[in-house]
Amino acid sequence: MMNLTEKLAELNKKGCTLTIQRHAILKYLYKNRTHPTVEEIYYSLKKKFSAISKATVYNTLELLKNYGFIQEITIEKGKLHFDYEVEPHHHFFCHKCNNIYDVNVEGCPLAGKKMIDGHKIEELRPYIIGTCSKCL
Amino acid sequence: MMNLTEKLAELNKKGCTLTIQRHAILKYLYKNRTHPTVEEIYYSLKKKFSAISKATVYNTLELLKNYGFIQEITIEKGKLHFDYEVEPHHHFFCHKCNNIYDVNVEGCPLAGKKMIDGHKIEELRPYIIGTCSKCL
DNA sequence: CTCTTGACCTGGAATTATTCTAATGTTAGA
DNA sequence: TCTAACATTAGAATAATTCCAGGTCAAGAG
């Protein structure tokens, strides 16, 4: 997994302006691996950057996603979550506590595949829904 | 795959009141395998049942989902889609045309699994994002 | 050093999707 | 037929996201 410094350097190399807001958002995701929502990111950053705007949070997350530096999670209905980790892994969503857990599943037949049924594969989002160990 | 008559009979057997609206919504999903959104379902049904309400569409979809007769799809950000087919299969989402395609992936290591990392698996939502054959 | 230009950020309005609510309608069983 | 429980409706309320117009910042040109 690419650490924060590496990712920032990579972003810079690709010509992306590294504003204080973008830095802060990526750093937040690096430190908080709980798959935070936009809401959570926004309110946490507001403590340090009281003037930050939601639009910036949305724009930056979109930007970082398009660069391939973060991953968007559409597991919870009507709400976006984000993940610093972009290496393929499964997400488990507990519908009781609404938490998202990383899980590792070996032997996925899609791993490394570029095409399926004539469609070009660009991203995998393998979600598992259920009740987590804590809620059981 | 369970056909419409079988599913309706099964619903009835489980004590679910079969209102005209519920019948219509399930039938719509049976006939339209394009993974329609709530919006699409609502406006299509409005042609025949001009008084149908969005709340009913939402309530019925939720109900049918909880009975396990239809599947909810959270692949497109901020929008729900639904699928008549509940047997496990992958969904491919084209981010150009926003269409969702069924794809069959053999050999998924999660097939039939009940638990993972101590979490209870209740549903699989394996999504693939990319560009579909038509858009390529 | 100052000016210009383009990219970025901000606050708030607008839009979109979903849920809630109160009133009314329907159904199945007594 | 009556009644109690359940369903449906329209529209309001809420929640999430996108849009927009104006202000800010930073880097290069002069």
pLDDT attached to residue A1: 84
Mean pLDDT of chain A: 96
Rounded CA separation B55/B127 (Å): 27
- Cα B59 to Cα A40, B29, B53, B64, B98, distances in angstroms: 29, 15, 10, 9, 25
Compute the C-alpha angle B124/B125/B126, nearest 5°. 105
pLDDT bucket at B71, cuts 50 / 70 / 90:
very high
Q: Which of A76, A28, A37 is nearest to A58 (CA)?
A: A37
> Is pLDDT at A110 greater than 90 in this prediction?
yes
**pLDDT above 90 (res B1):** no
pLDDT at A24 over 90: yes
Nucleotide nearest to B51 (CA to C1'): D9
Exposure string (b/e) for B11-45, b if CB count within 10 Å is 16 or more?
beeeeeeeeebbebbbebbbeeeebbbeeebbebb
Statement: the CB of A79 is under 7 Å from strand D: yes
Taking residues A76-86, what's their average pLDDT? 97
For residue A113, give Cα distances in angstroms to A82, A120, A127.
24, 9, 18
* Mean pLDDT along residues A55-73: 97
Average pLDDT over residues A9-17: 92
Residue nearest to nucleotide D19 (CA to C1'): A55
Name the minimum distance, in Å, from the CA of B118 to any CA of chain A: 5
Mean pLDDT in residue range B62-74: 97
**Which pLDDT score is estimated for A124?**
97
Task: Tell which of B116, B132, B136 to mutate to test the A interface (max A CBs under 10 Å).
Answer: B116
| Token pair of A116 as six digits | 């399926």
Residue B102 has pLDDT above 90, yes or no: yes
- Residue B108: what pLDDT? 95
Query: What residue spans define the domains of chain A?
Result: 4-83, 90-130
Q: How many CB atoms lie within 10 A of CB A105?
A: 18
Q: Does the nearest atom of strand D lie within 7 Å of A49's Cβ?
A: no
In whole numbers, what is the pLDDT of chain B averaged over residues?
Answer: 97
B119 pLDDT more than 90: yes
Q: pLDDT band at A128, cuts 50/70/90?
A: very high
3-state helix, strand, coil in chain A (%, to 5): 35, 25, 45
Q: Does domain A4-83 match CATH 1.10.10.10?
A: yes
